Amino acid sequence: MKDYPDKMSAADARTFRDDVLNIVSQIPCGKVTTYGHIAALAGWPSHSRMVGRTLRYTPGADLLPCHRVVNIAGRTAPGWGRQRDLLEAEGVTFKANGRVDMSRHLWEPDIL
């Protein structure tokens, strides 16, 4: 695993978790955002992988619209086939290559 120069303390990790969950809860229907964007909004731009881990391992995170989080290229989470179905049900369109049309559906809030 990458050795981050900006390691988190336990208190930082709890704050990061809470911030990630708060940000994800605000993604509107029909929009997506990226792991990296969430990490940056939470104040830890080099921790995009930790966003994914937070969403996967935090109890109750499955009650949030986690399906609206994709990678920077618009790819859905590997091994979660239902994610595409959930996004399409909200009107999110995909390109021929199977990726979300980020130019139409990327959510970038100015301020949270």
Q: What is the pLDDT of residues 61-81, one digit of tens each?
A: 989 999 999 999 999 999 998
Ramachandran angles phi, psi of 70, nearest 5°: -130, 175
What pLDDT is attached to residue 1? Answer: 42
Residue 8, pLDDT score: 86
pTM: 0.90
Provide the 10 A C-beta neighbour count for residue 40: 15
Closest CA to 65 of 89, 47, 96, 98: 89
What's residue 6's pLDDT? 66
The list of the chain residues with pLDDT below 50 reads 1, 3
User: Which value, in Å, is the radius of gyration of the alpha carbons in the chain?
Assistant: 14
